[in-house]
Amino acid sequence: MVTLAIDMMGGDDAPGIVLEAVEKALNDFPDLHIILFGDEKQCNIKHSRLEFRHCSEEIEMTDEPVRAIKRKKDSSMVKAAQAVKDGEASGCVSAGNTGALMSAGLFIVGRIKGVARPALVVTLPTVSGKGFTFLDVGANSDAKPEHLLQYAQLGNIYAEKIRGIGAPKVALLNIGTEPKKGNSLTKETYQLMSADTSFHFSGNVEAKTLMEDAADVVVTDGFTGNMVLKNLEGTAKSIGKMFKSTLLGSVKNKLAALILKKDLSEVMKKMDYAEYGGSVLLGLDGIVVKAHGSSNARAFYSAIRQAKIAGEERIVEIMRETVGEA
């Protein structure tokens, strides 16, 4: 049995999508137990493996993260993180304020001893549909080479345990594939990663091949990672917009669009982040999953499933024993 703490109040379409996802997850997974935190007046579901806890506050998207965590002690997000800290739940899931959830992770759940900087990890789509694990996408903007080495170790465990990839290829994001390319950060990190035998280092990868299954795990600093993540999303969206306006540009194009509709929606599904679950703050002494703020029920369900697998696979315990000690 895995127990998860769920924040009912976070996200653009909460609590509706959260309740729908929680109900589906409980029905699909007979070994899942959920503690749900939120406003009791808005909770309209019941289940034998669902425990509800009322919270009088909620953290808004506009709240200043650290202050919100410190002041709103009876918010659904703080209470969910506290349940992880207290060992009641192995992980928590929220679609709320990203900064606040990261703060809750750092200040309430806490770091694994020996992990210098937790990293935010996401799984991004590739053309083949396989996807790749990418970190850090924004937890730590000014990273040092030793932080990036730990990201590689954490990402390696994540890809193996959560995504089921045997001996993942772990690469360093850089502006050239040759070992001597890059800025001082990537040049030094290359040396550290080459010397580490706890994972399979496959060298540098360039941003232009990320969607072409260049590696299973790609490591970078939080500034560059956030930049590339937003650039990927934005470029895909802008190109999609251009195609869409072409498809709707004339009567004959609309006809062609009708013919292509089903196959194009398959392509769009491959590009859909919802399929790949939420982002996870790795290096904490518990599982903290952030579902996208604009999550629909399916995306939130993916995030719950992800947290459940992380609990079953005991990734926090593994990270504590291997990365924490290192």
- Give the footprint of a second copy on this chain (CB under 8 A): 126-127, 138, 141-142, 173, 175, 182-184, 186, 206-212, 221-224, 226-228, 230-243, 246-247, 249-250, 252-253, 255-257, 259-260, 263-264, 266-267, 270-271
CA distance 288 to 275: 18
The answer to whether 59 and 97 have CB atoms below 8 angstroms apart is yes
Q: E strands, 165-312, where? A: 169-173, 200-205, 217-219, 279-282, 287-290
- The nearer residue to a second copy, 1 or 248, going by C-beta atoms, is 248
Rounded to a whole number of angstroms, the minimum distance from the CB of residue 183 to a second copy is 4
Helix (H) or strand (E) holding 123: strand 119-124
- Both tokens of 13, joined, read 């379409």
CA distance 256 to 247: 8
- The nearer residue to a second copy, 71 or 241, going by C-beta atoms, is 241
Rounded to a whole number of angstroms, the minimum distance from the CB of residue 306 to a second copy is 24
- The nearer residue to a second copy, 66 or 247, going by C-beta atoms, is 247
- What spatial distance separates the first Cα and last Cα of the chain, rounded to whole Å? 30
Helix (H, G, I), strand (E, B) or coil at 119: strand
Rounded to a whole number of angstroms, the minimum distance from the CB of residue 219 to a second copy is 14
CA distance 133 to 163: 9
- The nearer residue to a second copy, 183 or 194, going by C-beta atoms, is 183
CA distance 284 to 201: 24
- The nearer residue to a second copy, 28 or 266, going by C-beta atoms, is 266
Rounded to a whole number of angstroms, the minimum distance from the CB of residue 267 to a second copy is 5
Neighbours of 111 (CB within 10 A): 17
Rounded to a whole number of angstroms, the minimum distance from the CB of residue 144 to a second copy is 12
Nearest C-alpha neighbor of 133 from the set 208, 216, 214, 207: 216
Rounded to a whole number of angstroms, the minimum distance from the CB of residue 280 to a second copy is 19
The answer to whether 216 and 132 have CB atoms below 8 angstroms apart is yes
- The nearer residue to a second copy, 27 or 231, going by C-beta atoms, is 231
- Both tokens of 125, joined, read 């789509």
Helix (H, G, I), strand (E, B) or coil at 227: helix
Rounded to a whole number of angstroms, the minimum distance from the CB of residue 322 to a second copy is 29
- The nearer residue to a second copy, 52 or 223, going by C-beta atoms, is 223
Cis peptide before 136 (omega within 30 of 0): yes
